[in-house]
Amino acid sequence: MQAGIGGFMYTPTPRRTPSGVGGALDVSIGGAVTRQLILCGGFGMDVGDTVDSGPKYTSMIFGITANVVYYLPSNFFFGGAIGLGGINADDSKTNSEGNYTNIGSAGPGLFLKAQVGQEWWVSDNWALGAAVRVSFIRAKESDAGPHAPVWTGGTASLLFSTTYN
């Protein structure tokens, strides 16, 4: 599991570049193929308030992925992932019915992730450390028909890392 702070940016239609800073989270489960090679499945997301030309809203970039992570003997690790992801933007305030108004969304689409980090064993089964993660997403706008505009985006995150083995 990894949690921390991340920044995000994406390009919807019309050509704007909403961006923001917020929370970042990765949760994965899997197993060791060798002492150094880990295969796992996971979910990752960055969510936060968005800076754009209009009113304030909340954006989320997320993905469900198949991951591979390789650990060097020093517990320095690097990894990558591929999967399906999406982008969602909601009004920061609820309407009269208590629901958030969806501003726009894209997905499912291609979601890629890469990370590097370092962990240190603190017990027989637990390691703690830090990681840097970047991701990329490319997805068609939801509910916009066969010729829907394509949204692209990405994240960069600094994460606290914990591993149970």
Domain of 106?
2-164
Residue 14, pLDDT score: 65
Say which CATH number the domain at 131 has: 2.40.160.20
Instruction: Count how many domains the chain has.
Output: 1
Q: Tell me the percentage of the chain whose pLDDT exceeds 90.
A: 72
Specify whether the CB–CB gap between 14 and 39 falls below 8 A.
Answer: no
Which one has a higher pLDDT value, 55 or 114? 114
Give the mean model confidence (pLDDT) for residues 125-146: 92
Give the mean model confidence (pLDDT) for residues 111-117: 98
To which H or E segment does residue 146 belong? Answer: none
Give the mean model confidence (pLDDT) for residues 135-155: 88
Largest CA distance in the chain: 56
List the Cα angle 32/25/56 in 5-degree steps: 160
Which one has a higher pLDDT value, 92 or 137? 137
The token pair that represents 147 in the structure block: 């010729």
Q: Tell me the percentage of the chain whose pLDDT exceeds 70.
A: 95
**Interatomic CA distance for residues 18 and 98, integer angstroms:** 25
The token pair that represents 84 in the structure block: 């399906």
**Interatomic CA distance for residues 26 and 112, integer angstroms:** 13
Residue 44 amino acid letter: G
Query: Whole-prediction pTM value?
Result: 0.90
Q: Is the pLDDT of residue 13 over 70?
A: no
pLDDT band at 46 (very low <50, low <70, confident <90, very high): very high
Digit-coded pLDDT (tens) for 55-91: 678 899 999 999 999 999 999 999 999 999 999 988 7
